[in-house]
Amino acid sequence: MAPALAVHELAKRYGSVEALKGVDLSVEEGELVGLLGPNGAGKSTLVKIAVGLVRATRGRAEVAGARAGSRAARAELGYLAELFRFPGWYTADEVLGLHQRLARSEGGAAERKRLLELVALADARDRRVDGMSKGMQQRLGIAQALVGSPRVLVLDEPTSALDPAGRRVVRVLLEELRSKGASVLLNSHLLSEIELVCDRVAILRAGEVAAAGSPSELSRPRGVELETDEGLRTVEGATREDAARLVAEAVVAGRRVYGVRVLTSTLEDTYLEAVGEEVS
Amino acid sequence: MSAVLTIAGYGFREALRRKVFAVVVLLTAVFLVLFWLANHYVFTRLSTISPPADVNVDTRTFAGAFLLGLAMFATLFLGVVLAVFLTLGVVSGDAERGLLQPLVVRPIGRTTLLLSRFLGAAAVCSVYVLAVYGIALTIIDLTGHWTPPAKVAPGLELAGGVVIVIALSILGSVVLSSTANGIAVFMLFGAGLVAGLLGTIGHALNSHAILHASKVAAWALPFEALYQDGLRLISSNASGLTGFLLQLGPFGGAYVHGWGIRVWAAGYLCAALALALLAFSRRDL
Ligand SMILES: Nc1ncnc2c1ncn2[C@@H]1O[C@H](COP(=O)(O)OP(=O)(O)OP(=O)(O)O)[C@@H](O)[C@H]1O
Ligand SMILES: [Mg+2]
């Protein structure tokens, strides 16, 4: 079976700016992949090519085996753009109705109600878009992307304007979607969020994949921290296997041991390393 | 088909909300009241009017055709204003604001989306132009008891001219920002007027070169040529035709006319639309 979404040797040039320089990435059926990277790394460019908004300069992009941008590819997609707006004079319900017609969804009023509840906008059903806060509009955008239960979801920073509760809603939503077998490509700057929900992560830097793997692969062991009557001591390079031995050695040396902790580098450390910033 | 209606309805609602219709209806009402006043005064003082010596028509025909020519110009102008405001930002403007992207990624696709916006605007503008033209005809008939030899065809030609402007404005919206596109389309419209004016000057000066330039411009901007052909039709069975047409105002005599220009205008419309669709299909959003 073809992957839900795949790009191969993908390159994009805007005038003199090389936004993508040959990127390979795939989202398998039922997989949740996170795309990380600093501002201007090319994340949005990649997803715009995948959904057919932007033409690649070189390389291939496919959605469910169909060429990105083709009708067959569009029929499988739900997309939340990084910058978007709905007509201010539509109500939340009407926005979803419009997209139901365009996506040929048969869900009717029941689907609209369910989606608005899903993003906690049930009370704002008849509120007009120009009377909504930025975060409310983003919630509506997420609901819009889910219209017609698409097989492949492409979300470009879905939580950038959301409050902590809203972020949690999205996280739960993503987990639920995955359990139903949807495939998701997620752009985000929130490493914790990506770490919590994604099966796989790709880190882009200046249009190239700088690191990729599962969040646990990207979080490496970094040492063991020992708290004794002499204070805090970190043994660099030690792993979980070494922890018991280190405690025994300290006890033999007459130290009182109050605590021991295995340190792993977080996704954040790996990220900062991959994009070339100092790890503090 | 349902997608076409959905998008056309979307455009229609946008125009309603942006008060485009309110402004146009208000301006049109002002124009029609003034036009009625003009008719009233002209036809109650008909005896004080004398047609130019080289025009062999009766005074009523002269006054009626003159006023209708004026109304046709106003109708074309108002129709173009409506057309431009309905379409000036359908691609670049909406893309900049982020309104277009969520629609374009839906299965409907770019071609149907743009054609739907075109058809929606064309339907609204055609109804508008035919309505204003029809009311103007009725005013002249009621106040002056005069009707032109051809009633329907000039109205259709005016509507056709406005539809061509819609296609040009949509083409412009793919490659230009809203503001630049609005300026460009009004400039083209102005160029059409100048072409008509050139024709009149060329005729008065008996200059072949100026007449030729005017003809070339009318073919290049066929909305102007259609309007000129409409002017010809409202006076087609009056004698002393050429001299008479010259009096129909500064904005054109019928120097380009007939089926040739109609067929050309239809082809021009299709070419402008095809170009817009091609450019849109290749545009990054
Ligand atoms: N329409 C455009 N025209 C010219 N350059 C562009 C255009 N869109 C993006 N770029 C450039 O391409 C590069 C990648 O941009 P992109 O929007 O993909 O970055 P991003 O990773 O999504 O960044 P962010 O985290 O800020 O959203 C940047 O250098 C940007 O300036
Ligand atoms: Mg981005």
Residue type, B92: S
Q: Is the pLDDT of residue B235 over 80?
A: no
Other Cβ atoms within 10 Å of B165 Cβ, number: 28
Nearest ligand, measured from the Cα of A189: 1
- Homologous superfamily of A5-217: P-loop containing nucleotide triphosphate hydrolases (3.40.50.300)
The CA-CA-CA angle for residues B109, B97, A94, to 5°, reads 65
Per-residue tokens: B38? 């003009």
How far lies B239's CA from each of B70, B159, B206, in Å?
Answer: 20, 27, 20
Please enumerate in sequence order all residues whose Cβ is within 8 A of that of A231, keeping only pairs 6 or more positions apart, or say none. none
B256 has pLDDT over 90: no
**Residues making up chain B, counted from first to last:** 285
pLDDT at B283: 93
**Contact criterion met (CB below 8 Å) for B107 and A102:** yes
Q: What is the mean pLDDT of residues A57-79?
A: 92
Distance (angstroms) between ligand 2 centre and the Cα of A153 equals: 16
Q: Do A87 and B98 touch (CB under 8 A)?
A: no
The pLDDT score that the predictor gives to residue A280 is 44
Q: Where are the domains of chain A?
A: 5-217, 221-264
Q: Residue B255: its pLDDT value, please?
A: 61
Segments in B18-58 forming alpha helices (H): 20-44
Nearest Cα of chain B lies from the Cα of A258 at a distance, in angstroms, of 57
d(CA A81, CA A154): 8
Mutate to test the pocket of ligand 1, among A39, A49, A57, A205 (most ligand atoms within 8 A of CB): A39
Q: What is the DSSP string of A136-156?
A: HHHHHHHHHHTTT--SEEEEE
β-bridge mates for residue A183, sequence order: A152
- d(CA B150, CA B158) in angstroms, rounded, equals 13
Rounded to two decimals, the pTM is 0.87
Dist. CA B84 → ligand 2 center (Å)? 33
DSSP track, A62-86 = EETTEETTSHHHHHTEEEE-SS---
Quickly state the pLDDT bin for B234 (edges 50, 70, 90): confident
- Given this model, what pLDDT does residue B17 score? 81
pLDDT cut 90: percent of chain A above it: 51
Tell me what pLDDT residue B54 has.
Answer: 63
Residues 6 or more apart whose Cβ sits within 8 Å of residue A241: none
Q: What is the mean pLDDT of residues A131-157?
A: 93
Amino acid B16: pLDDT: 82
- Which helix H or strand E contains A216, and what residues bound it? helix A215-218
Give the CB-side neighbour count of residue A116, counting CA atoms within 13 A: 20
Closest ligand to residue A10's CA: 1
Which chain B residues have a beta carbon less than 8 Å from that of A81? 98, 101-102
Task: Count how many residues are written for chain A.
Answer: 280
Complex-level ipTM: 0.83
Cβ A71–B10 below 8 Å, yes or no? no
Highest mean pLDDT among A181-195, B52-66, B240-254 belongs to A181-195
Mean predicted confidence (pLDDT) in A96-105: 93
User: Model confidence over A124-137: pLDDT tens digits?
Assistant: 999 999 999 999 99
Helix (H) or strand (E) holding A231: strand A231-236
Contact A71 B285 (CB under 8 A): no
Rama region for A105: left / alpha / beta (φ>0; ψ in -120 to 50; rest) = beta
Rounded average pLDDT over B105-130: 93
Which of B13, B98, B104 is opposite residue A83, by nearest beta carbon? B98
Instruction: Tell me the sheet residues that pair with A213.
Output: A201
For residue A277, the model assigns a pLDDT of 63
pLDDT band at A102 (very low <50, low <70, confident <90, very high): very high
Each residue of A2-56: pLDDT tens digit? Answer: 889 999 999 999 999 999 999 999 999 999 999 999 999 999 999 999 999 999 9
Distance in Å, alpha carbon of A34 to nearest chain B alpha carbon: 21
Residue A204 predicted with pLDDT over 50: yes
Q: What distance in Å separates residue B177's CA from the closest CA in chain A?
A: 18
Burial B241-263 (b: 16+ CB within 10 A, else e): bebbbbbbbebbbbbbbeeebbe
List all residues 6 or more positions away from A117 whose beta carbon is below 8 Å from its beta carbon: none
- Beta partners for A264? A221
pLDDT at B248: 53
Please write the tens of the pLDDT for every residue from B68-83.
Answer: 988 999 999 999 999 9
pLDDT tier, B113 (very low <50, low <70, confident <90, very high otherwise): very high
